Chains A and B, each alone.
Chain A
Amino acid sequence: MDNIYWNSFKTFFKIGAFTLGGGYAMIPIIEAEVVDKYKWVDKDEFLDLIAVSQSCPGVFAINISVFIGYKLRKVRGAICTALGTALPSFLIILLIAMFFHQFENNTVVAAMFRGIRPAVVALIAAPTFNLAKSAHISLYNCWIPIGSALLIWALKVNPIYIIIAAGLGGYLYGKYIKPTE
């Protein structure tokens, strides 16, 4: 009996259920299961899939699971792996959403979250600088992130327009300006 559907669902469910810290923390765990244990893709192909999944929009873990599921058993395989990845978070957060409202106004929980919220803002601010380094931000192109952040924050521009403008700008720059440099 072909139970690759069940195996792939189970594998990605496990990955979704046990990896804290989201996307990038999942890479070594996905690799251990998908490349080393089940040999669904080889190492080189896995690296290619990571690169494409990272550059594409959407949730990284879903992107990579759809790739592997589709490779195994086309659309039905992709449904199994995507469902496996999304289901643990969905169920956990659903439970929290259902019951958090009851605890939110509890004075102890409220005090804890008053301390947590400024820390979370710092947790988002810190990786900005790491990302700036890996995106090769220099004096010449720092106007792009600074300008985008200011447009979104101060002028309330929808980030979707920034994304479209940046993609289009990159395309036009590559097509008309770069070759003549």
Chain B
Amino acid sequence: MIFLSLFITFFEIGLFGFGGGYGMLSLIQTETVIHHHWLSSAEFTNIVAISQMTPGPIGINSATYCGYTAVHNGGFNGLMAILGSATATFALVLPSFILMILISKMFMKYMDTPAVQSIFSGLRPAVVGLLAAAALLLMTPENFSAPSQNPWQFWISIALFVASFVGTKFIKINPIRMICYAAFAGLLLLY
């Protein structure tokens, strides 16, 4: 039952997705690419790129896209696929909704206690690792090609990776502009 498994998966992602959009990425990727095979690694990377260029939170964007694609690839029609989108997005938002209301209602005063602060002090360094894992998991032949498969595309990909890293981190180029540059480079060099 694909709707039930979409619901459970995105509910889990919403419940355990600490560290904001990028922090959630390794979680979304593990579940949707590695575990359920709803998306390929390249499709997942495309979604991240599309999310960067469209407004709105990346978590919502991937849930919506994934819900649609998973149901569509499951052989259902467009209407069912839209329902799949809605299911995944609703499931992602639900834990936040419940948790935030519980916190405003009764737990606001506990947020500053040593016990809660200790939990966060353990989570913070782990989220850094989650983010690093998200980048590592995306370094696949589907995204970069491979020296044995297509050396030209592989080395161009590596060069684009290094250029984008330096460009956004040190030269502070706007990420959206960086994606446009990379798209242009792809068109010129990888057509």
Interface residues of A (CB under 8 A from B): 16-24, 52-63, 66-67, 70-71, 75, 78, 82, 85-86, 88-90, 92-94, 96-98, 100-101, 104, 107-108, 111-132, 135-137, 141-142, 144-149, 152-153, 156, 158-160, 162-171, 173-175, 178
Chain A residues whose C-beta falls within 8 Å of the C-beta of B64 in the assembled complex: 89-90, 93-94, 97
Neighbouring A residues of B101 by C-beta, 8 Å: 66, 70, 75, 78
User: What are 30 A-B residue pairs whose CB atoms fall within 8 Å in the complex?
Assistant: A53-B100, A57-B96, A58-B14, A58-B93, A66-B96, A89-B64, A97-B69, A97-B72, A98-B78, A111-B186, A111-B190, A112-B187, A114-B153, A115-B186, A118-B144, A118-B158, A119-B179, A121-B45, A122-B164, A123-B48, A123-B175, A128-B131, A136-B124, A149-B133, A152-B26, A152-B130, A153-B137, A163-B16, A167-B123, A171-B118
Count chain B residues whose beta carbon lies closer than 8 angstroms to a beta carbon of A.
111
Nearest residue (CB) in B for A167 is B119
Interface centre among A19, A75, A117, A168 (most CB of B within 10 A): A117
The residue on B at minimum CB distance from A58 is B96
Cβ distance A161 to chain B, nearest Cβ, rounded Å:
9
Q: B residues within 8 Å of A by Cβ?
A: 12, 14-22, 24-27, 30, 34-35, 42, 45-46, 48-61, 64-65, 68-69, 72, 78, 81-82, 85-86, 89, 92-93, 95-97, 99-101, 103-105, 108, 111, 114-115, 117-139, 143-144, 153, 156-158, 160-165, 168-169, 175-176, 178-179, 181-187, 189-191
